[in-house]
């Protein structure tokens, strides 16, 4: 009986010690919010005169961010990752091609019936974030503020114009800036987080002109961000 009691004490002590190690390792190695998905409403900022958006312009964004805590409590971190972004913009800018030249003009909807007019962009993105949160290794509902910079490379673009006089569809035209970059902010509690992106350069390049003036407008995205471990 004494031998049995001794064995039980040894096993119990070993199990408790192992639990402490596991909890300690969990706390020392846990990381937050490494997968993300976002849906946004897309705005065109600094638009040329008479250029206006119409309908609902949407964006969908997914990716992975490696969370790298930089303090002992692991509530401050740097995040670096890779993602994919799909964006559409409904507006009244006519984009057509003539003699292999891309032409821009404002649609006169009093003269023609426009059923659809949008351009879309698809980008691979590299987000870099500075992260603060109130999380612990066992608390999954917490406050967070993540701010940073996002660099994107456009891998595909398309335009679609449908009018009463005919349809025009173009793809992979050279009028867009291949490289897009901007600042980001995500803030919220638990599942629901506000997300904003402010583009720092124009969506179109310097050769893209409307009325002999560069189309120098940037992108603003506002929406919701969802994080998954």
CA distance 138 to 30: 9
| pLDDT value at 216 more than 50 | yes
Q: What's the pLDDT score for residue 141?
A: 80
Mean pLDDT calculated for residue range 187-202 = 95
Residue 125's contacts (CB-CB under 8 Å, 6 or more residues apart) are 61, 63, 82, 83, 84, 85, 150, 151, 152, 153
**pTM, whole model, 2 decimals?**
0.85
- 145/10: higher pLDDT: 145
Q: What's the pLDDT score for residue 32?
A: 77
Q: What's the pLDDT score for residue 228?
A: 84
Provide the phi-psi class of 12: left if phi over 0, else alpha when psi is between -120 and 50, else beta. alpha
Answer CATH for 31-228 from 2.40.160, 2.60.40, 3.30.2010, 1.10.10? 2.40.160
Contact criterion met (CB below 8 Å) for 96 and 58: no
| pLDDT value at 54 more than 90 | no
Angle formed at CA 77 by CA 73 and CA 82, multiple of 5 degrees: 145
The DSSP result for 160-190, as a single string, is EEEETTEEEEEES-TTB-SEEEEEEEEEEET
Q: Based on C-alpha coordinates, what's the Rg of the chain?
A: 25
**Mean per-residue pLDDT of the chain:** 87
Residue 16: how many other CB atoms lie within 10 Å: 10
Question: Running DSSP on this structure, what letter comes out for residue 205?
Answer: -
CA distances 57 to 90, 98, 115, 164, 192, Å, are 6, 27, 15, 22, 21
Q: Residue 23: pLDDT band by 50, 70, 90 thresholds?
A: very low
| pLDDT value at 173 more than 80 | yes
CA distance 98 to 138: 61
Query: Mind listing the pLDDT tens digit for each residue in 71-125?
Result: 988 889 999 999 999 999 999 999 999 988 999 999 987 778 888 999 999 999 9
| pLDDT value at 34 more than 60 | yes
**Region of poorest pLDDT, from 9-23, 59-73, 123-137:** 9-23
Give the rounded distance of the alpha carbon of 83 from its chain centre.
7
């Amino acid at each position: 009986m004494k031998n049995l009691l001794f064995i039980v004490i040894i096993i119990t002590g070993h199990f408790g010690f192992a639990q402490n190690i596991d909890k300690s390792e969990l706390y020392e190695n846990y990381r937050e919010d490494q997968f993300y998905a976002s849906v946004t409403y897309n705005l065109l900022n600094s638009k040329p005169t008479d250029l206006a958006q119409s309908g609902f312009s949407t964006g969908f964004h997914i990716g992975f961010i490696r969370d790298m805590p930089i303090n002992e409590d692991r509530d401050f971190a740097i995040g670096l990752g890779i993602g994919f972004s799909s964006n559409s913009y409904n507006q009244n800018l006519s984009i057509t091609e003539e003699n292999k030249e891309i032409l821009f003009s404002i649609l006169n909807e009093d003269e023609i019936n426009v059923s659809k007019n949008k351009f879309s962009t698809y980008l691979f993105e590299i987000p870099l974030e500075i992260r603060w949160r109130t999380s612990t290794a066992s608390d999954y509902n917490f406050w967070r503020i993540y701010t940073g910079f996002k660099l994107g490379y456009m891998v595909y673009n398309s335009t679609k114009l449908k009018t009463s006089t005919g349809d025009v569809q173009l793809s992979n035209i050279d009028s867009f800036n291949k490289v897009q970059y901007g600042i980001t902010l995500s803030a919220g509690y638990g599942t629901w987080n506000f997300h904003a992106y402010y583009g720092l350069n124009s969506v179109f390049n310097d050769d893209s002109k409307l009325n002999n003036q560069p189309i120098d407008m940037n992108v603003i995205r506002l929406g919701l961000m969802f994080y998954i471990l």
